[in-house]
Structure formats: C-alpha cells, structure tokens
C-alpha cells in the first residue's frame, strides 16, 4: 500500500510539473486564433492575426534576421565547439589547458548581462579604432557564437568521452593520418552529438534577448527583441500568432530530429550486432 501511494504521489507531482510548464503554451496557441484583441476573452475563432503577420514588416524583418543569425550561430558554434571538445578530451596535458578550459566554460556560468556588456564595450572600442564592425548581424552573431560554443563543447565532449578510442587507434595502425582519422572515424561516430549541439545552439540563438539587446543597432532588431518591446506596451495578438508558428516549426524540427536519431541508433545497433556475430 505504501509503495502504491508513493508511486501515485510521484506521478501526481510529475503531472503537475508538466501541466505548469505546458498549459501556458497551449493557452497561447489557442488564443492566437481568438478574434478579439483582448487577452483571455474568447470571442470566436479567427485567422485574422495570422493574416495580419503578412503585412507586419517589423516582425517579418526581425524573424528573418533572427533566422540568419541562428543558422550562422549554430554552424559556427558546432565547428568551434567540436575543435575545443576534441582538444580537451584527446590532449589531457598541454600548456595553458586549465586557462583554456576556464575560458571555454566561463560563458556557461557567467550572466548574459555581463557577457553582453563586455562585448559591447569591446566592439565599441574596436569600431572607434578601425571603423568596423557596425552593430548588427555580425556583432549579434559573435555574441551568440561565444555563448553557443560553450554549450556545443559540453555536448560534443560528453560524446567523445564515451566513444571507443580503439577505433581511432585501429585506423592509425592501418596508416591513416591524424586528420584522416578525425574526418573518417571520429566525426561519423559523433554525428548525433553534432546534430544535438546544432539544434541546441540554434534554439538558444533564436530566442536570445539579452545579448541581442546589447549588440544590436538601429534597424537590426531580432524577433525576440521585437516581441519583448511590444509586450512592454501591452500584448499584441500578432505576437501570439508568431509564437504559435514558432512552436509549430520547433516541434516539427524536434520530432524530425528525434526520429532521425532513433533511426540512426537502431541502424548502429544492428551493425554492431552483425559485426559481433561475424
């Protein structure tokens, strides 16, 4: 009886936690179809706010800028994070390793306000000296990549630590050079971690507000900044529509990624089983 109560008590708390997290999202999506401008006052089903997005140049421009920055950030973060993770995992002793580890991990624990302010001061000084870069896409991308690289390093390094290093040693015994081992053996074995790191850094960049607010300039407002600025003046139903579309796109991406990873894992298990039998 006690075990039964403990089990249902745990399930109850877990269900309440999930409801607390997801009910606001469901409410937001539902009221994006509300014909009234007033929140929490349902007056009928309508697609007018989705149609209004087509003529909202500010949101469209902000979304396009956010998407470009997120794509660049995800690619840059995965490349730099992979190299950093490989160095930290494969080279246990080298001069300055402690400093390098601290520099890679610092963005994970440092408040984004501090990162954004320090980058802003540095970029303003550089701009005064050389005349570039102007605050906009490039400066936001640099800030997002700095933060994303730290997350990508953690994800990729954890996979490298679990990887069977005998595969790399076997490849080197067969005459492969180090760069061949990296591209032909290491990368294929950590591709799932690379995909996870790419999706994580893409999402972090797409919804970042703090760094973008510090590093953006006139005419370079990302979608989160536009939404945040409108929310301060009162919620706009078009913001609900944007949020609903974003949730839809992210959900499709997560489902597709999960199916791909699960399929790749099943294929890998079958290959390992076949190799063990052979």
> What pLDDT digit, counting tens, does each position of 120-174 carry?
888 888 888 887 778 888 889 999 999 999 999 999 998 888 887 787 778 887 7
pLDDT at 94 > cutoff 90: no
Report pLDDT digits (tens) over 234-260: 667 788 888 888 888 878 877 887 787
Q: What is the pLDDT of residue 216?
A: 85
Lowest mean pLDDT among 3-7, 65-69, 138-142: 3-7
Q: What is the pLDDT of residue 224?
A: 86
Q: What is the pLDDT of residue 88?
A: 87
Q: What is the pLDDT of residue 149?
A: 93
Burial 141-180 (b: 16+ CB within 10 A, else e): bbbbbbbbbbbbbbbbbebbeeeeeeebeebeeeebeeee
More confident residue, 55 or 152: 152
Q: What is the pLDDT of residue 80?
A: 93
Lowest mean pLDDT among 78-92, 111-125, 168-182: 168-182
C-alpha pair distances (Å), 226 with each of 52, 83, 116, 208: 16, 35, 18, 12
In the numeric block, which tokens belong to residue 234? 């009162």
pLDDT at 72 > cutoff 90: yes
Q: What is the pLDDT of residue 123?
A: 85
More confident residue, 79 or 229: 79
CA 72: distance to chain centroid?
Answer: 12
In the block, tokens 């401008």 appear at 37
Q: What mean pLDDT do residues 68-93 have?
A: 90
pLDDT interval class at 44 (50, 70, 90): confident
Q: Using CA atoms, how far apart are residues 58 and 227, in angstroms rounded to an integer?
A: 10
Q: What is the pLDDT of residue 78?
A: 94
pLDDT at 3 > cutoff 70: no
Q: What is the pLDDT of residue 76?
A: 94
Q: What mean pLDDT do residues 73-81 have?
A: 93
Helix/strand/coil (H, E, C) string of the chain? CHHHHHHHHHHHHHHHHHHHHHHHHHHHHHHCCECCCCCCCCCCECCHHHHHHCCCHHHHHHHHHHHHHHHHHHHHHHHHHHHHHHHHHHCCCCCCHHHHHHHHHHHHHCCHHHHHHHHHHHHHHHHHHHCCCCCCHHHHHHHHHHHHHHHHHHHHHHHHHHCCCHHHHHHHHCCCCHHHHHHHHHHHHCHHHHHHHHHHHHHHHHCCCHHHHHHCCCCCCCHHHHHHHHHHCCCCHHHHHHHHHHHHHHHHHHHHHHHHHHHHHHHHHHHHHHHHHC
Greatest mean pLDDT among 46-50, 102-106, 237-241? 102-106
Report pLDDT digits (tens) over 177-212: 888 888 888 888 888 888 889 988 998 898 888 888
Q: What is the pLDDT of residue 22?
A: 85
Q: Using CA atoms, how far apart are residues 85 and 81, in angstroms rounded to an integer?
A: 6
Greatest mean pLDDT among 84-93, 138-147, 189-198, 214-223? 138-147
* Mean predicted lDDT score pLDDT of the chain: 83
Q: Using CA atoms, how far apart are residues 192 and 199, in angstroms rounded to an integer?
A: 11
pLDDT at 1 > cutoff 80: no
In the numeric block, which tokens belong to residue 36? 């009234």
């Amino acid at each position: 009886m006690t075990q039964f109560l403990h089990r249902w008590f745990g399930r109850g708390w877990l269900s309440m936690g999930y409801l607390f997290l997801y009910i606001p999202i469901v409410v937001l999506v539902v009221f994006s179809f509300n014909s009234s401008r007033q929140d929490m006052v349902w007056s009928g089903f309508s697609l007018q706010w989705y149609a209004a997005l087509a003529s909202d140049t500010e949101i469209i421009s902000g979304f396009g800028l956010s998407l470009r920055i997120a794509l660049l950030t995800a690619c840059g973060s995965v490349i730099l994070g992979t190299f950093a993770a490989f160095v930290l995992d494969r080279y246990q002793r080298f001069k300055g390793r402690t400093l390098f580890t601290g520099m890679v991990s610092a963005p994970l624990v440092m408040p984004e306000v501090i990162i954004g302010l320090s980058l802003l001061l540095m970029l303003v000084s550089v701009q005064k000296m050389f005349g570039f870069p102007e605050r906009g896409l490039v400066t936001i991308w640099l800030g997002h990549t700095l933060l994303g690289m730290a997350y990508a390093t953690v994800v990729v390094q954890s996979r490298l630590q679990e990887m069977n290093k005998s595969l790399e040693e076997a490849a080197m015994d067969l005459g492969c050079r180090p760069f061949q081992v990296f591209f032909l053996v290491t990368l294929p074995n950590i591709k799932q971690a690379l995909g996870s790191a790419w999706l994580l850094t893409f999402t972090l960049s797409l919804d970042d507000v703090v760094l973008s607010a510090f590093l953006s300039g006139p005419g370079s407002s990302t979608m989160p900044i536009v939404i945040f600025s409108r929310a301060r003046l009162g919620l706009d139903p078009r913001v609900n529509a944007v949020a609903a579309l974003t949730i839809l796109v992210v959900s499709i991406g997560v489902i597709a990624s999960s199916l791909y990873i699960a399929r790749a894992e099943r294929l890998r298990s079958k290959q390992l089983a076949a190799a063990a039998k052979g």
